[in-house]
Chain A
Amino acid sequence: MAPGKPLPGPHLGFPTGPDDLLVDAKGTPQRIDKAFSWDAPFSAHGMMHMVIANAARGDPYAIDVLFLYMANMGWNSAMDLPATLKHLTDRDPTTGEYEIKRIIYSDAYFSEMVPYADLILPDTTYLERWDCISLLDRPISEPDGPADAIRQPVVKPDRDERPFQDVLIDLGARLKLPGMVKEDGTPKFPGGYPDYIVNHERRPGIGPLAGHRGKNGGDFGRGEPNPRQLEQYIAGGCFHMHHLPDHMGYFRHANRDYIAWALDKGFRLTPTPVIFQLYSEPMQKMRLAARGHAAVVPPEAHRARIETYFDPLPFWYPPFEGAAPEATEFPMHAITQRPMAMYHSWGSQNAWLRQIHGANRLFMNRSRAVALGIADDDWVWITSRIGRVKAQVKLIEGVNADTVWTWNAIGKRSGTWGLAPDAPEATRGFLLNHLIAELLPEQPGGYRFSNSDPVTGQAAWYDLTVRIEKAAAHEARETSPRFEPLVAPPGLRTTPSPRLRHAEGVLSARREGRGEGQLQASAQASAPSP
């Protein structure tokens, strides 16, 4: 990697040994999140949760611009919220500049991250743009065969916003990034994202959508770009499914017909069966590197950790947090679960959904609560090794006595999401994120690893341990901490409507004298969309 130059290869991937790591000759991580380094060699999904902290500390290096998309890193996707907010606003004492000099953020909603950005790129909602649910990413495939899908715009944007993918392609062309411009420097996808979906080829004949490829749209998987591909997807219901014939359907890891077909379509790269490794070769390669048996070996400070955790056979070890000396102070586990009705924070401000999940409770085992002198609906302090949060409990049977849990991302910061400043999401809702450290305690030598899995780099949200104590009577009523309310920029509507009345026209028609019988007749005569 070199400053001012694009990445030399894919930014995500599947490392299988020390040669695949993104580290320099000294073993220093090359990426801002330290993914694909000795800190977490097989971190195939990256380590987004570390970007802000690393950028603020200039470790492994300082950056000029932090560009975030959609992830609510200033709230429910952050660890150690107070520290994260400090990273976003701290200034270098010598220069007076922000530690993270410039922040660009794109979101469709006024989330808790928005006010921390220098430049905001308002995104559309998914109703207002094209999307591609691709075999190259996270498709909708079934056991019977591969399938992919699109979203098409069904609502015209009526505000100052642009679909984010169009913006990225536009920016890529302006920065003259390879793959985004033609040989002559002009934009490769002037039509924006729909142009990219149809015309981008990841490998010859293979693009984001597998269906309706080829001149006439009759090819699956591999074929030249088809200018009418999106039209044909729409005609088919915005998705395409390829049903595998029976002789290819089963034992696909070792099915010769399937593997030959998959090779042709680009799903497999070699004409060999997939071997399920119960003894993992890539893990053993890393362990051997720690023992010195590799061209690329870990620095001294990482050797013991790589040796220990890269065991080719699975083994159990206590979570790092639980092994610390103060572990007995925090005897309970605390985890979160996403509600079925929403995905992280997006959509949770919806007028109907917030009548279902308006303020989250701390769910606690009834018998453990009784033993701790806590009754249903009591307010409690949840304390971890880095802080404490106040919440209202709900006692249930369906959790083990040593664990408490709550819904993810219901708790909000006052002033955000178009909600009234005294919304229950802000006054009673809470996050566990404030309690979760982003860094593990200091190692001998002073280094602090990320609070993440040592192999995959996944954030260790579920390692959180806490203790629960009943709050004092005068403390019951409201959550804590509550951060300073955020203020919407000028021009952003801040007064929520006092009442929602969908289908106002139906009510007016009724008032004009059309009774129930007429209404029923008209409903039968009309063709409403379900």
Chain B
Amino acid sequence: MHETALMQNLLNTVYKAVENRNVVRVNRVILSVGQLSNALPDALSFAFRAMTQQGIMKDAQLVIKQTPATARCESCGGEFPVEGFPIVCPSCGSSSFSIMSGDEVYIESIDCEED
């Protein structure tokens, strides 16, 4: 539901990254979206399209990579991907865990054309 706010941050971040370069066009933005981020890829794509109607990002493509959450087992110390609930360590069966990643909405890189 807050995908538009995230997209505004994305645009600000992209414009900041290109500010001292002579970028004429941004072709692609590559975004990692964690499984626990509560950010919907469809809503992100929609907001991106709506907010890139002009300027150097016009017609840019948003590539969304969905990344799984990971947890660390507090009994055996192993790290494992979260594959649903309940979260149980696949090595030792413990249900004592800490979430290590999965709530990020992370810009990896942009592809652009420079003059």
Answer yes or no: do A and B interact.
Answer: no
Which residues of A line the B interface, CB within 8 A? none
Which residues of B line the A interface, CB within 8 A? none
